[in-house]
Chains A and B, each alone.
Chain A
Amino acid sequence: MNQNTRIRKYFIWLFWIAVWQTANMLIHNNIIFVGPLDMVKALLELVRDSSFWASIFSSFARISLGFLGAFVLSILLGCLAYAFPLIRELLEPVMLLIKSVPVASFVILALIWIGSHNLAVFTSFPVVVPMIYVNTLSGLEHTDRKLLEMALVFRMPLWKQVRYIYIPSVLPYLISGCRTALGMSWKSGVAAEVIGIPEGSIGEQLYYSKLYLDTAGLFAWTFVIIIVSAVFERIFLYFLVKVKH
C-alpha cells in the first residue's frame, strides 16, 4: 500500500470516529449510546481487572479450538465428497440443513447436550463447516485437469499430486472462505456465550453489561472482540498463506 493510500485510509477511519462522537453528543444518553472516548475510558478500567485477561483467554481458546476443529473436519469432508460422489450426495442435504438452521437453535441444543462450559467450541461447527466444506470442494473441482493428466502420464504418486497440484489449487478457495468463516465463528461463539453464560467468558461479560445497562462496557468488550478476532484471523491466515508458498 503506498503512502497516499495509507494516509487516505487513516483519514477515513478518523472521519467515522468523528461521526461516532458526533452521534454520541447528539443522542446524549449513556445508556442508549456511548462515544469513542467513553468506550476507551471503560476499556482502560477493564484492562486493570485480572478477570479481563482470563475472560479473553478463555473465549479465545474455546472459539479458536472450535474453529480449528471445524476447519479440519470441513476439509476432510470436502476431500471425501470429491473422491466419492455418494458421500457428496449424502452430505448435500446435511449441509443445506446446517446452513438454514439458526445459530440460536444450535446454541440451545448444545446447552442441553453439553452444557455451557464448551458452548463456543461447538457453535463454530455449524457456522464454519458448510462454508469451508463448499470452498474445499470447489477448490478440488477446479483443479487444473491438464496438470492431473500430466501427473497421470508421469505416474506421480498421490502424495505428490496432493502437495504440488491439489493444495495450490484449493488454497486460494480456503483462504477466501476463511476470511469469512473466521469472523463468523467469533460472532457465533460470543453470541452462544451470551445465551449460555459460561463462567469467565467474554459472553458472560457482555451479558452483565446488558444486565447493568453498562453500554460503555458493552462497547468496550465489543471492541475487544473485534481486536481479538482480527488478531486470530491475521495469525491463522499468515500460516495458511505460508502453506501456499
Chain B
Amino acid sequence: MIELRHITKSYNGLTVLTDINMTFRDGGCYCLMGPSGSGKTTLMRILMGLETPDEGTVAGNPDRKSAAISAVFQEDRLCESFSPMDNVMMCVGRSLKASRVRLEMGELLPEECLDRPVSTLSGGMKRRVAVLRALLTPSDILIMDEPFTGMDEGLKHSVIAYIREKKDGRILILSTHQEEDVALIGGELVRISSSSPDSSQVCKSFA
C-alpha cells in the first residue's frame, strides 16, 4: 500500500500539485486521467522517487525505500544501440531466464525484432519493449505513464490484456487520456485536474 499525504509540488513558482491525498492499495489498479499539465507525470515521478515533494509525505508498506518499482516512462527510455532482449534482460537480471523472457516478449513483438537494435524499431514497437521491460521486471509497484502512446486500437487491446495477465497482484498506477482504457484495464478512475487553491485536485470514481 502507498499513501500520499498532503503532497504539494511547485516548479519555478508554478504549483503543479496542491495538497494531494491518495491511497493505492495492494493489488489495486488506478488510472490517472487529467488534462496535460495537471500533474500526472509529476505525481508519478514522486512515486518513483525521482522528485521530492515540497510538502507532504509518501508512506508505504513495504516502505518506500525497499519497494521495488518498475516503470513505463512518458518517453521510451530504451538503450537504442541494444536489442529489445538486452533492454529487458538488463533490468530483469537473474530473476528470469533469457529463454523465458524471449517467450514472453514474443507475445507482443515479432520474433525477428527481438535481437535487432531498438533504434531500428518503430515507435509502437519501442513502446511495447518499454511495457515488457516494466512487466517482466520483478517489482511491487508498476507505474506506467501513457503506456499506449503510438499503438492502434487492436494493439492496445492486446497490450492491455497482457498487462492484466502479468500484473500479478502488484499495484498498478497508469495514466491515460482515453476513458475506455479504464474499463478495459478494470481499474479505478482517478481524475486529476489542474492545481487550484479553491478546489481539490483529485476526484475519484469507479470504472
Contacts and interface: CB of A to CB of B under 8 A. Distances in A.
A156 B90 contact: yes
Main secondary structure on B side of the interface with A: loop
A164 B73 CA distance: 18
Chain A at the B interface: SS class: helix
A102 B196 CA distance: 64
What's the interface size class on B, roughly? Answer: 10 to 19
B81 interface: yes
Contact of A150 (B68, B77, B82): B77
A164 B86 contact: yes
B155 interface: no
Nearest to B134: A154
Contacts of B91: 154, 156
A155 B82 CA distance: 19
Nearest to A152: B50
Given A153-B50, A156-B90, A164 B71 contact: no
A160 interface: yes
A56 interface: no
Contacts of B71: 150, 153-154
A160 B82 CA distance: 13
B54 interface: no
Interface residues of A, number: 15
A2 B133 CA distance: 41
Given A146-B73, A152-B50, A154-B137, A168 B81 contact: yes
A28 interface: no
A152 B69 CA distance: 10
Interface string B68-100: 111101010101011000100011000000000
Interface hub of A149, A154, A168 (most chain B Cβ within 10 A)? A154
B48 interface: yes
A153 B79 contact: no
B137 A149 contact: no
Given A155-B68, A156-B90, A149 B50 contact: yes
Nearest to A168: B81
Given A154-B137, A156-B91, A146 B75 contact: yes
Interface in B9-44: none
Contacts of B70: 153-154
A162 to B, nearest CB: 12
Contact of A164 (B50, B68, B75, B79): B79
Interface string A154-174: 111000100011001000000
A234 interface: no
A154 B77 CA distance: 12
A165 B75 CA distance: 16
B169 interface: no
Interface of B: 48-50, 68-71, 73, 75, 77, 79, 81-82, 86, 90-91, 133, 137
28 contacts: A146-B77, A147-B77, A149-B50, A149-B73, A150-B71, A150-B73, A150-B77, A152-B49, A152-B50, A153-B48, A153-B50, A153-B69, A153-B70, A153-B71, A154-B69, A154-B70, A154-B71, A154-B137, A155-B68, A156-B90, A156-B91, A160-B90, A164-B82, A164-B86, A164-B90, A168-B79, A244-B81, A245-B81
The 3 tightest CB contacts between A and B, nearest first, are: A150-B77, A154-B91, A164-B79
